[in-house]
Structure 1
Amino acid sequence: MVEIIMAVNNAVNNFIWGVPAMICILGVGMFLSIRTGFLQIRKFPYAIRTTIGRMFRKKDASDGSMTPFQAVCTALAATVGTGNIAGVAGAIAIGGPGAIFWMWCSAAFGMCTKFAEVTLAVHFRERNKEGDLVGGPMYYIKNGLGKKWQWLAFFYSLFGVLTVFGTGNATQVNTITTAIDTALVQYNLTNRTALSMLNLIIGIFIAMLVAMVLLGGVKRIGSVTEKLVPFMALFYVVMALGVVFLNIRNVPAVFASIIGGAFSPKAFTGGLVGSMFLSLKKGVSRGIFSNEAGLGTGSIAHACADTKKPVKQGMFGIFEVFADTFVICTLTALVILCSGVSVGYGKPAGAELTISGFTATYGGWFSVFTAVALCCFAFSTIIGWGLYGARCIEYLCSSEKVVRPFFVVYSFVTILGATMELGLLWDIADTFNGLMAIPNLIALFLLSGTVVKLAKEFFEKEKA
């Protein structure tokens, strides 16, 4: 049965993430960049000033909403996760070091893509019957494109519900169990035969925590993420920078392998990864899995922000992609490649490869700290994607009453994720990510004029 699922998924995945998908994802990002005059570059200093400044501004949100800081933390909770740790490791193992170069390229355009998503989500959002702010791709399709495009909003929501169980939940829990298992086995605190039972217990425990947070509603989700995300991100960045500085002599060769490997993977992987397209495919797909630019999911959290300025909130989209990919994903790649650990090109890899990079530099004891960091990253991602799934199923069913039952089911999926195979999980997640991106990219292309108009009007007022 597993072999059949893998065969079907591979066929769908190869089609979705083939040449047309690469053209669409990078093409829409490039199209938006050109139409906005490369706003992500021109206004990058403004984006950093605006976002960091608002992060430290404390204020209470109105009922049914989050503060702008809580909204960005919830979006970052979903983006800064295991995609940065396990996803980057997998991209390097299958696509070679050059996959990181293509990850950077997709992120450069992805900053503008996410800016557009967030801006549109805040501009076209609504309040549901319970008074909560709701928005995202399905709402900017509905309110921005009109009735004839309702089918596009339906498919986005449908793919969104399916995606959250894999991308936002099962793969995250799998990474948590992998990290804990690696740390325990390294210290001989357990054996391989006992791990399956341990993983089941971990899955049940995480399911309980997830349910406690999600069933508390938007306010509790925002409250948890604003405390967890800054701590975990800062901790990881400091530890990763330590690895880079301790292996500083290897940095020039690593950047040479990233840039050279993008065009000639075979020369830097011993011939085990020989396809430039495979390197590009893994870099772009895992980059999108990490920063979500093109998926539209992050905009669902931003639509909850208590703000009246869509473009100003859109600046957080630029900041998120930059922080996620250019900072954290790059540091993960440097940890793996600078530390000198054996990558095993051509074979699937995950969190254990990143952990090996840390332990090779700091010593085996550090596996405990990386396990804790991974647990925080993955848990925050599960929470963020839980909100995304709730908004998608609420739109599909045109009712808020389905949200609580969804949260319960979503929580139980963590138990399944704790005991499934990593390789199949990542492949399925890649497939659903691709399916989810299609309706969103179409909407962004059609609504690009609205993005340009909103940005122009906003910056004209700022100058006045």
Structure 2
Amino acid sequence: MEGLYNFLTSLDGVLGGSPWFPFVLLGVGLFFTIYLKFPQVRYFKHAWKVVFGKFDKGNEPGDTTHFRALTTALSGTVGTGNISGVAFALYLGGPAALFWMWATAFFGMTTKFVEVTLSHKYRVQTEDGTMAGGPMYYMDRRLNMKWLAIAFAVATVISSFGTGNLPQSNGIAQSIEATFGFEPAIVGSVLGILLALVILGGIQRIAAFTARVVPLMAVIYLIGALAVIFANLENIGPSFVAIVSDAFSGSAAAGGFLGASLAYAFNKGVNRGLFSNEAGQGSAPIAHAAAKTKEPASEGMVSLLEPFIDTIMICTITGLVILSSGVWKEKHENNFDRSDMYFVQGTYDDQSAEDVGKLYNFLNEIKDHDIQAYSGDIRIVNGTAVSDGFTLINARSVAEDVKYSVSGEDPFTGTLKIVDGKPVKDNLEVSGKSLVHSAALTTIAFTRGYFGHWGQYIVSIGLMLFAFSTAIAWSYYGDRAMTYLAGPRSVMPYRVIYVAGFIWAAFSDTTLVWALSAVAIVIMTLPNLFGILMLSKEMKQTVNDYWTKFHSK
């Protein structure tokens, strides 16, 4: 697993983690925002009217309503990205990361408007009578680039696991284990059965389920979040100041947080923003293709609301909970993931300004540091290291009160071999105090409000509903891609594998799952961004035609 993780992180380094990817993603959104004259602002009010059926006609082609198409697409985006992803972004980049999530969402509103409009325009009716759409159809039917359509469809299938399946299951299991103590394998198995029962019913059952669950889960989560925000109201102003002021300078060291450079915060904020709202990824157009309308632009306008609801509203609320409570810069007792641990040569103290400077450069991948991986033997007696000359970095922080055990039970005594910063003993478990991230960080933050320790249950329930609905929506994206690639008969085998993957991810390594997700998102996004840029003139004409028809009624 460690070898696979290293491969995925290396691949991500030249794709989503590269300096150029955030500029490509934001650049496309910026281009269409200017080219279409800020549709996310001009059409915002009209979009809400379309969602609630003001212009609906009952005899139009499609499988579901505007509202249900929106909730299905939202269920695909509102998931662990809003709970775990925001926490992960703040853990990596500090307050500055949230600003870049906002920027991604604002320009992403236009990107989503474009991709949904074009995909809806070239949707088709399948052999079983249902609608199928998505970027692969405009790539094939309009651009005449079947090779690109196939590449996108394959990427969609991969991303259905990397975005909608594995991280969601893992996030649910992690949160429920921390809150209720249930074994991840049991959680994954039970929810896997429920997942199978829902997705076998196709888009109509999926849409009906999400139309009920999405509003409910938003209300539950909002109540818990506001309980923390109002309990820490004096910190809300400083949190907003830090978000904006750090955006163009990076986030300074604070507590156990060792700081993040501007480049690092920018990159991680944009990437987490994409994971959260999926604008440009090409996933939402697949759900919106089922909407009952003859006007592609009207469904595109519905879709521009998604990044606003998902990121600018829900992610901001999560971010304020984490920032105002202060938990993002505190060290907490936790079990260390092997991929989060790194042993370095020398002794470093995060209370020393000189050491913090060196660690800052090391963690932000700035070359001006002399920190090297530790290789050698560490003597451990009754779970405590008695050797010196090394420092354990866990979750980008200096670990404290570290304990070593065998399979999480008996304290380890003996010699622990470290090679290139990593322990080689397979059944070793390490725990102690360090920064935490993902769902665990959000869970801790929710205990700092009026509900006290009961707040963690809101996160667990909210995460379960958010993530489970995301897994359902992404199963539909994957089966539409399989329908394009191999026909309707391929859908059932895909669903079986999808459910099996959901169960497996519940007890897999958290960091490995996020690494797979990061790669899967990018290999789906790049072909879609290329395609919509090729059709920019047609997009403008489609929007103009819509308004001409609308005003002539």
Give the alignment partner of residue 130 of structure 2, picking from 122, 132, 146: 132
Tell me the amino acid that sits aligned with residue 355 of structure 1: T
Helix, strand or coil at the partner of 2:280? coil
In the other structure, the counterpart of 1:13 is: 12
In the other structure, the counterpart of 1:354 is: 442
- 1:397-445 CA distance string (max 9 Å, x none): 1x10011111111011111110111111112101110111010000010
**Counterparts in 2 of 1:33-432, with a 5 A limit?**
33-51=33-51, 53-54=52-53, 65-146=63-144, 149-184=145-180, 190=181, 198-267=183-252, 269=254, 272-343=258-329, 346=396, 349-361=437-449, 362-397=451-486, 399-432=487-520
Tell me the amino acid that sits aligned with residue 155 of structure 1: A
| 1: CA distance, partners of 2:483 / 2:324 | 46
Preserved contact between residue 167 and residue 514 of structure 2 (Cα < 8 Å) = yes
Measure how far apart 1:454 and its partner are: 0.8
Preserved contact between residue 87 and residue 286 of structure 1 (Cα < 8 Å) = yes
- 1:176-225 CA distance string (max 9 Å, x none): 111111112xxxxx4xxxx5xx2111111111111111111111111111
Measure how far apart 1:255 and its partner are: 0.7
Compared CA separation, residues 35 and 352, structure 1 to 2 (3 A) = same
Specify every segment of 5 or more residues in structure 1 that has no aligned partner in the other structure, as ranges.
185-189
Structure 1 range deviating more: 360-369 or 288-297:
360-369
| 1: CA distance, partners of 2:123 / 2:61 | 15
Preserved contact between residue 69 and residue 207 of structure 2 (Cα < 8 Å) = yes
Preserved contact between residue 170 and residue 510 of structure 2 (Cα < 8 Å) = yes
Preserved contact between residue 261 and residue 268 of structure 1 (Cα < 8 Å) = no
In the other structure, the counterpart of 1:187 is: none
The higher radius of gyration belongs to 2
| 2: CA distance, partners of 1:61 / 1:339 | 51
Compared CA separation, residues 284 and 419, structure 1 to 2 (3 A) = same
Tell me the amino acid that sits aligned with residue 368 of structure 1: Y
Q: Specify which structure has the bigger relative contact order, considering alpha-carbon pairs within 8 angstroms and separated by 6 or more residues.
A: 1
Measure how far apart 1:121 and its partner are: 1.6
Preserved contact between residue 348 and residue 423 of structure 1 (Cα < 8 Å) = no
| 1: CA distance, partners of 2:328 / 2:73 | 33
- 1:325-379 CA distance string (max 9 Å, x none): 1000000000101122243573561111111111111211222222111110010
Measure how far apart 1:60 and its partner are: 7.5
| 2: CA distance, partners of 1:318 / 1:72 | 10
- 1:433-463 CA distance string (max 9 Å, x none): 0111010000010011111111111122323
Tell me the amino acid that sits aligned with residue 389 of structure 1: G
CA RMSD of aligned residues (A): 1.9
Preserved contact between residue 59 and residue 67 of structure 1 (Cα < 8 Å) = no
Tell me the amino acid that sits aligned with residue 480 of structure 2: R
Compared CA separation, residues 64 and 342, structure 1 to 2 (3 A) = closer
Helix, strand or coil at the partner of 2:471? helix
Compared CA separation, residues 249 and 8, structure 1 to 2 (3 A) = same
In the other structure, the counterpart of 1:3 is: 2
Helix, strand or coil at the partner of 1:255? helix
Measure how far apart 1:59 and its partner are: 9.0
Pair 1:23 & 2:112 matched: no
Question: What is the TM-score with the length of structure 2 in the denominator?
Answer: 0.78
Preserved contact between residue 296 and residue 437 of structure 1 (Cα < 8 Å) = yes
Measure how far apart 1:273 and its partner are: 2.5
Compared CA separation, residues 96 and 320, structure 1 to 2 (3 A) = same
Measure how far apart 1:267 and its partner are: 2.3
Preserved contact between residue 64 and residue 207 of structure 2 (Cα < 8 Å) = yes
Q: How many residues align?
A: 447
Preserved contact between residue 339 and residue 357 of structure 1 (Cα < 8 Å) = yes
Which protein has the bigger helix share? 1
Measure how far apart 1:237 and its partner are: 2.2
Measure how far apart 1:69 and its partner are: 1.5
| 1: CA distance, partners of 2:289 / 2:81 | 23
| 2: CA distance, partners of 1:238 / 1:226 | 20
Preserved contact between residue 63 and residue 131 of structure 1 (Cα < 8 Å) = no
Preserved contact between residue 239 and residue 323 of structure 2 (Cα < 8 Å) = yes
Measure how far apart 1:63 and its partner are: 8.9
